[in-house]
Structure formats: C-alpha cells, structure tokens
Amino acid sequence: MINTVYAVRLLQTVACIVGMALLLWSLGIPTFISNVEAASLTLVSDTLSDSDRGVVANHTIRFTTPNGVMASSSIAVTFPAEFTLPGAGFDFNDLDVTDDGTEILLGSSAVGSQWGVATTSSTITITTSGSNVSSSSVIVIEIGTNATSGATGDSQITNPASAGSYEITLGGTMQDSGATRVAIIDDVVVTASVDTTFTFTIGGVATGTAINGGATSTTGSSTATSIPFGNLVNASTSVMAQTLAITTNATNGFVVTVEQSQNLQSSTGADIDGFINGAYTNTPTAWTPPTSVLGTESTYGHWGLTSEDDLNSTEFGSDLWVAASTTPRQIFHHNGPADGVTANSGSTRIGYQAQIGNLQEAGDDYTTTLTYIATPTF
C-alpha cells in the first residue's frame, strides 16, 4: 500500500513538471527542456583591401551562423592589439552589414529595424534589433571606405606594423562564435625598364601630290635631302613637299621644328624673301602672290611653308601658309608615343611654295638649307 501511494505521488509530480514546462514553452519562455547548444561559426573569412604593413585597409568579414542570432543579441568583432582602429569619427557610417544579401539599416543604437554599432579601441560591437537572424544565415560585414550603403565610409583600420599572421575573433552574446586570420606581409615591388626609342626620317614626295588642301598639287618631286623647285616662272606658283615620320616611345611625345639658314639667295646677292612680301608671316594665312613693287626688293618674290599636321589644334587649316624663317618654326607635334605611320601622330607632310613676280632678279643658283629639329620628351 505504501509503495502504491508513493508511485502515484511520483507520477503526479512528473505530470505537474511536464505540464508546467509545456505551458512555459507555449508562452515562448525558455525552459530547461529547450536548450540550443552553442556552435562554431562556419566559412569565416576576412578579406583585406591591402595586406601591407602599417597601411590603412578595408575589411570584408564573412561568416555563416549555424544557430542564427537572437533579437537584441550582439556580434562582437575583436581585432588584435596590433591593429589600430580609427577612434573618433569611426561609427556606423563606416560599416555595412548584410544578412543573406539583404542590407541592414545601421545606427548608433538598436531600435526598430535598425541595428546598433559601437566601437572601442579593439572591438566593433553590432547589436541586433527586434528580429531574429535565421539559422545558417550568411552575415557580411564591410568596414572602411567599402561601406557605401547610405553614407560612404571615411575611416579605415590600420594594419599592424609587423608582418605576421593575426587572429580576428567573432563573438558577443550571439549563440555562435568563431575566428579567422589575416596575413600581414610586405608588398612585392616589381621593377622593369624599357629603353628609349626615337627615330626621325624624312621622305620625298612625288609630283602631282595634293598638299594640305591646296589648289596646286606638287609641281615637282622631292627627295629626303633636296627640294628642287627648278625654274621659277613669273606669276606661277611652284609647290614641293616632304614627308616627316617619327617613331618613339616617348611618354610625352615630341616636337619638330624647321628653320632656314637664310633666304633663298643667289650668288649675285639677290634673294627670294619670306612670305608675305618679306614680312615673315608666322600666323597661317591664305597664299597671296608677291606684289612686285618696283624699288621694294622684298615684294619681288617670296616663299613659305604649310603643315598637314593638326598640331593638336587647327593652326594650319586647309591651304594656309607661313614664312620660312631663320627662327625655328613648329610644324609637327604629338603628345605621346608615335608609330611613324599614323597621320597627325606619327607622320605628316610639309609643303613648300615659291612664287615670283616679273621683277625678281635673275639667277640660276638660288639656294638655302633647311634644318629640321626633332625633340622627344620622355
């Protein structure tokens, strides 16, 4: 009889305990029969934007939480003492957090759907708000200027001054915890050298070649070393040309100028002056014949040049001319490497035109020397 009573009372006690536990569970209150064991975070990584010693870097921390994160729990990211967190001004604007790809609203405190962010000299603590993070969720935390949701981050963490492997831990009041490592190393300096190259060639131009949109094509053939105008005839223009080609790897390109040793001059002392009428015009101008004013020798005949190169502008427009002069005149220019072929950057043509009036002094040996100077800038 005593054993029966004891057994009945024991069963009543067990029933009471089970009933109470079921009631608490139905109300959402944790009990000793609802126990979730802590687990290790999985797939934990921290990708640095720069792994060099002592430099600032962005961090992209990624992990999967097996048990999820309960509402109002914290995720604490703790850096070794060798890292330097920014301090003043380092706040939620310097972080982005996503939960399975969904951006989380961040602020200085956890309220509503907003998660709170607090920092110390070694730890960043992120406190969740009223919603749970599901189990097996992938959490990504971006720290630094890579945080661009809302405001863009303007503070970065400074790497340790010494090379080595450093452990970064993840914990807080969330159920799971874990750690990852980053390697701080010296940058690898890669060096190389490239020899300078520069070639400048002059070529002849055949008879009948149109030059810079001029009305008169070349009236004779030139070579790399000669421009033979031949016999100049009153009121007729004579046109010659040469091709200039530059091949170079100069970073800042090159400039080519031309200058004459003197006017086209005969052994008699007579000369053919610079375009226009001996004025040595340096602003590209449409071609005009010499005026041939008796007693004004400079008007008896003149000669000049034009360039098909655009000189990075429209300086030498179609059929515009300047005087040949003893002062170097820029005729070809480019601001980078050149291949010796492409027009306006590696190749161009320079035209020369001479015209006399009926007063130009006779002579069969008018001559001058042209000097081209090509200057690269590496």
The answer to whether residue 69 scores a pLDDT higher than 50 is yes
In this prediction, residue 34 carries a pLDDT of 39
Output phi, psi for 3, to 5 deg. Answer: -65, -40
313-331 pLDDT, tens digit per residue, is 678 889 999 999 999 999 9
Does residue 22 sit within a domain? no
Do 80 and 224 lie in one domain? The reply is no
Does residue 25 sit within a domain? no
Do 62 and 128 lie in one domain? The reply is yes
In this prediction, residue 22 carries a pLDDT of 47
210-243 pLDDT, tens digit per residue, is 999 998 999 999 999 999 999 999 999 999 999 9
In this prediction, residue 239 carries a pLDDT of 98
In this prediction, residue 136 carries a pLDDT of 95
The answer to whether residue 115 scores a pLDDT higher than 70 is yes
Do 176 and 252 lie in one domain? The reply is no
Does residue 55 sit within a domain? yes
- Structural domain of residue 275, as residue ranges? 198-376
Do 331 and 353 lie in one domain? The reply is yes
In this prediction, residue 364 carries a pLDDT of 96
Do 178 and 209 lie in one domain? The reply is no
Share of the chain above pLDDT 90, in %: 85
In this prediction, residue 187 carries a pLDDT of 92
User: How many structural domains are present in the chain?
Assistant: 2
The answer to whether residue 30 scores a pLDDT higher than 50 is no
Amino acid letter, 119: T
Does residue 3 sit within a domain? no
The answer to whether residue 46 scores a pLDDT higher than 80 is yes
Q: Of the candidates 122, 157, 184, which is a domain's last residue?
A: 184
3-state secondary structure the chain: CHHHHHHHHHHHHHHHHHHHHHHHHHCCCCCCCCCCCCCECEEEEEEECCCCCCCEECEEEEEEECCCECCCCEEEEECCCCCECCCCCCCHHHEEEEECCEECCEECCCECCEEEEEECCCEEEEECCCCCECCCEEEEEEECCCCCCCCCCCCCEECCCCCEEEEEEEECCCCCEEEEEEEECCCCCCCCCCCCCEEEEEEECCCCCCCCCCCCCCCCCCCCCCCCCCCCCECCEEEEEEEEEEEECCCCCEEEEEEECCCEECCCCCEEEECCCCCCCCCCEECCCCCCCCCCHHHCEEEEEEECCCCCCCCCCCCEEEECCCCCEEEEEECCCEECCCECCCEEEEEEEEEECCCCCCCCCCECCEEEEEEECC
In this prediction, residue 20 carries a pLDDT of 52
The answer to whether residue 73 scores a pLDDT higher than 90 is yes
**Domain CATH number, residue 46:** 2.60.40.740
In this prediction, residue 120 carries a pLDDT of 96
Identify the band that residue 88 occupies on the pLDDT scale cut at 50, 70 and 90: confident
Does residue 231 sit within a domain? yes
CB–CB of 354/329 below 8 Å? no
The answer to whether residue 267 scores a pLDDT higher than 60 is yes
Do 111 and 254 lie in one domain? The reply is no
33-42 pLDDT, tens digit per residue, is 334 578 899 9
**Domain CATH number, residue 205:** 2.60.40
CA distance 292 to 303: 14
The answer to whether residue 342 scores a pLDDT higher than 70 is yes
Do 208 and 318 lie in one domain? The reply is yes
In this prediction, residue 9 carries a pLDDT of 52
Q: Of the candidates 124, 153, 184, which is a domain's last residue?
A: 184
Do 175 and 204 lie in one domain? The reply is no
Do 258 and 365 lie in one domain? The reply is yes
Distances (CA, A) of 308 to 163, 240, 285, 315, 331: 59, 13, 14, 10, 9
Identify the band that residue 14 occupies on the pLDDT scale cut at 50, 70 and 90: very low
CB–CB of 210/117 below 8 Å? no
| pLDDT mean over 258-278 | 97
The answer to whether residue 31 scores a pLDDT higher than 50 is no
Mean pLDDT over all residues of the chain?
Answer: 91
The answer to whether residue 296 scores a pLDDT higher than 70 is yes
Do 207 and 89 lie in one domain? The reply is no
Do 166 and 56 lie in one domain? The reply is yes
In this prediction, residue 8 carries a pLDDT of 39
Q: Can you read off the two tokens belonging to residue 203?
A: 């070529």
Residue of higher predicted confidence among 285 and 23? 285
Does residue 162 sit within a domain? yes
In this prediction, residue 1 carries a pLDDT of 40
Do 219 and 366 lie in one domain? The reply is yes
Does residue 27 sit within a domain? no
| pLDDT mean over 166-189 | 96
In this prediction, residue 122 carries a pLDDT of 96
Q: Is 65 left (phi over 0), alpha (psi -120 to 50) or beta?
A: beta
Q: Of the candidates 153, 184, 215, which is a domain's last residue?
A: 184
Does residue 6 sit within a domain? no
